[in-house]
Structure 1
Amino acid sequence: MMGYFIYIVATMFVVPLLSVTGEFFYRSSRIRFLDLSWKWFIFWAIGIRLISAGLNQVINPAFTASILQLNDSAHFVIRELGFANLLMGGLAGLSLFFPSLRSAATLGGLYLGLAGLLHVIRGIEHVNFKEATALISDLWGLLIVTGYYLDSLFHRNKAEK
C-alpha cells in the first residue's frame, strides 16, 4: 500500500519537478518556465500515471477492484477501463515529443478530474487510503489541465495585445 502512495507522489510532484528543473537549468532557460511545467506535469502526472494505471488494470484488475472495494465480477469492466487509460495516457506521453498534442492530451486530466469527483460523490466516508490517494491524484490532474487552460488563455490574450 505504501508503494502505491510513493509512486503516486512521485508522478504527481517529485519527478515532474525534477524534470522541469533539469530542463530549465541544464537545457534551455529560454523556454517559459510555465511551458516547461505544463510539458512535464502533463507527461508525468497524466501520461505516465494513466499508462501505468491502464497497464495495471489490464494485467491485474484485482488491484483496482481492491481500491474501489469491488468483487471479481468487475474485472472485465476494469480491463476495459485500462484500455481507455492506456489510450489517454499514451496521448499525454506522446505530447512530450509532439507539443502540438498537448491540448488534446489534457483530455486525460479532465477524465482524471471527473473520476476524482465521482470518488467524492460516492461518499468520502467510504474512501479507504488507496482510494483517497487515487482521489487526490485524480483531482491533481484536473488542477493541472485547469492551470494549463488558464495559462494558455492568459498567455494568448497577452500575446495578442
Structure 2
Amino acid sequence: MGYLIYIVATMLVLPLVSVIVEFYYRSSQIRFFDLTWKWFIFWAIGVRLMTAGLNQIANPAFTASIMQLSESAHVVIRELGFANFLMGGLAILSLFYPSLRPAATLGGLYLGLAGLLHVIRGIEHVNFKEATALISDLWGFLIVVAYFFDSLFLRNRT
C-alpha cells in the first residue's frame, strides 16, 4: 500500500499541489502549462526515477519481487538503478535550469518504453505492484507527449 501512495503522490498529488501553489503566487508572471510541465517533469519523472534508482541500487530485491525475477537479476537491476538515478537527476535539475527540460523528457520516454514492456509481457502475468508501475510509466510518457505537443503546437499561439 505504501508503494501505491508514493506513486500517486509523485505522479499526481505533489505535481498538482506545486502547480497550484506556484500559479497562485505567480499567476501573472508565468504561463500555466509551463508551470505544469515544470512540476510534472520534476516530480513524476525526476523524483520518481531518482528514488526508484536509489532503491534499485540499494535494494534490488524490491524490483526483482515486482518483476517476479530471481536473485540472479540483482546485478542488472542495480545497473538499471544507475540509469534511473541519472535520468531522474537530470529531470530534477530541470527545475533549476529550464533549458534542460527537453533533455529531461528522456526519462519520460524511457518510462513509456518500460510501460510498453510491461504490456508486452502480458497483463495476465502482472501483479498489483507491477500494474502500479505500468500505469505510472505510461503516465510519465503521457506527460512528455503533452509537453512536446504544447511546445510544438500550442506555445506559439498563446
Shorter-chain TM-score bucket reads over 0.9
Aligned position for 1:71: 70
Q: Aligned with 1:95: secondary structure?
A: helix
Amino acid at match of 1:104: A
Q: Aligned with 2:29: secondary structure?
A: coil
Aligned position for 1:60: 59
Aligned position for 1:37: 36
How far the C-alpha of 1:108 sits from its partner, in A, is 0.1
Deviations 1:97-143 (A, max 9, x none): 00000000000000000000000000000000000000000000100
Whole-angstrom distance in 1 between the partners of 2:57 and 2:3: 17
Whole-angstrom distance in 1 between the partners of 2:2 and 2:90: 26
In structure 1, the gaps of 5 or more residues are: none
Q: How does 1:124-143 map to 2 (within 5 A)?
A: 124-143=123-142
Does structure 2 retain, via aligned residues, the 8 Å contact 1:12–1:45?
Answer: yes
How far the C-alpha of 1:27 sits from its partner, in A, is 3.6
How far the C-alpha of 1:157 sits from its partner, in A, is 4.5
Whole-angstrom distance in 2 between the partners of 1:9 and 1:156: 28
Aligned position for 1:15: 14
RMSD (Å) for aligned C-alpha atoms = 1.0
Residues matched between the structures, number:
158
How far the C-alpha of 1:154 sits from its partner, in A, is 1.1
Amino acid at match of 1:115: A
CA separation of 1:29 and 1:108: change in aligned 2, threshold 3 A: same
Pair 1:123 & 2:122 matched: yes
Amino acid at match of 2:62: F
Runs of 4+ aligned residues of structure 1 deviating over 6 Å after TM superposition are none
Pair 1:103 & 2:102 matched: yes
Deviations 1:15-61 (A, max 9, x none): 00000000000244421100000000000000000000000000000
Deviations 1:53-81 (A, max 9, x none): 00000000000000000010000000000
Whole-angstrom distance in 2 between the partners of 1:19 and 1:13: 10
Deviates more, 1:18-27 or 1:54-63: 18-27
Whole-angstrom distance in 2 between the partners of 1:126 and 1:101: 37
Pair 1:48 & 2:81 matched: no
Whole-angstrom distance in 2 between the partners of 1:52 and 1:157: 35
Whole-angstrom distance in 1 between the partners of 2:144 and 2:73: 30
In structure 2, the gaps of 5 or more residues are: none
Amino acid at match of 1:41: F
